[in-house]
């Protein structure tokens, strides 16, 4: 094999970086960083941790001048470790590919980072290591110095089933929008009884799916509503100025910082989301909203 990428295919990412570099670059690396992580798409991988090994190489631009032994003028090794920790803290993931993408994306936000190699391997799935490796480069948006704005703080409104069915719903949503803050809507369990599983874990999933379904019922009542589930989707929708409805199963099941409340306590889930997003105001429309005001729906 004469192709340098092929000849280094099973080498360390440091060898891959060297073999595929169009021009010499400085590099910093993280080798053999092993963490216990809950990850995986299979049911047997849920509720338990497995060892992941992280190897990262980040190619950096030169400063054109000596660093004068000044840590503030370099890309610190801690940045690599912090990127791994931040990607793991966002939410539970099914795929190593997604985790690798998030780590690379975080590192490429650093002004000096030009190209990143990320290799992640599962060490406990057999008498071998199973893994992925990706290579990503800084894009033109980063090179122009464009940065994502700070996420606006939303209003979080928790709606009862009566409020969802009420013909005045569009007017209430209009009122929520008038304040100028993004609007995040949450729902309670539907009135139709959920199937009874007879075991706690399946019942929890059934109830969460019922909440997700009710989110879609609300979204069908007003074209402004966008159903979202993950923290990434929520933040993106808020930055886009969309009115969103939270389908909670993804975060409740997969986030490392899971709420204490379960699906049978939807008002507490709503309060958890409001706390997580730093809501400026919280309101219950025909429902209780911890720490918020309540708008009654009985009057016609």
Residues designated as active site: 122
290, 268 contact by CB (below 8 A)? yes
Helix (H) or strand (E) run with residue 15 in it: helix 13-20
Angle at 61 between CA 56 and CA 62, to 5 degrees: 125
187, 218 contact by CB (below 8 A)? yes
Instruction: For 95-151, give the DSSP string.
Output: -HHHHHHHHHHHHTTSTTEEEEEEEEEESSSSSS-EEEEEEEE--HHHHTT--PPPP
Residue the block writes with tokens 């409020």? 163
- Two tokens, residue 298: 């009985």
Cα–Cα distance between 174 and 176 in angstroms, integer?
Answer: 5
- 3-state secondary structure at position 178: helix
Centroid of chain to Cα 206: 23
């Amino acid at each position: 094999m004469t192709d340098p990428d092929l000849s280094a295919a099973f080498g360390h990412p440091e060898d891959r970086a060297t073999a595929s570099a169009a021009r010499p670059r400085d590099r910093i690396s993280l080798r053999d960083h092993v963490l216990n992580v809950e990850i995986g798409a299979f049911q047997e991988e849920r509720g338990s941790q497995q060892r992941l090994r992280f190897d990262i190489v980040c190619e950096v631009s030169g400063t054109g001048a000596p660093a004068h032994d000044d840590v503030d003028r370099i890309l610190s090794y801690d940045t690599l470790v912090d990127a791994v920790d931040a990607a793991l803290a966002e939410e539970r993931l099914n795929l190593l590919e997604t985790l690798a993408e998030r780590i690379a994306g975080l590192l490429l936000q650093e002004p000096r980072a030009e190209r990143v190699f990320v290799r992640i391997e599962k060490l406990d799935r057999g008498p071998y290591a199973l893994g992925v490796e990706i290579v990503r480069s800084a894009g033109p948006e980063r090179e122009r110095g464009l940065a994502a704005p700070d996420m606006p703080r939303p209003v979080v409104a928790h709606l009862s089933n009566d409020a969802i069915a009420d013909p005045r719903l569009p007017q209430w949503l209009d009122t929520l929008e008038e304040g100028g803050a993004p609007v995040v809507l949450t729902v309670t369990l539907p009135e139709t009884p959920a199937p009874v599983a007879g075991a706690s874990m399946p019942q929890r999933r059934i109830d969460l799916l019922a909440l997700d379904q009710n989110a879609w019922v609300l979204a069908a009542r007003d074209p402004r509503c966008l159903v979202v589930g993950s923290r990434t989707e929520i933040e993106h929708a808020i930055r886009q100025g969309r009115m969103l409805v939270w389908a909670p199963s993804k975060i409740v099941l997969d986030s490392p910082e899971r709420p204490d409340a379960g699906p049978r306590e939807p008002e507490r889930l709503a309060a958890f989301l409001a706390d997580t997003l730093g809501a400026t105001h919280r309101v219950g429309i025909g429902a209780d909203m911890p720490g918020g005001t309540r708008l009654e729906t009985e009057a016609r």
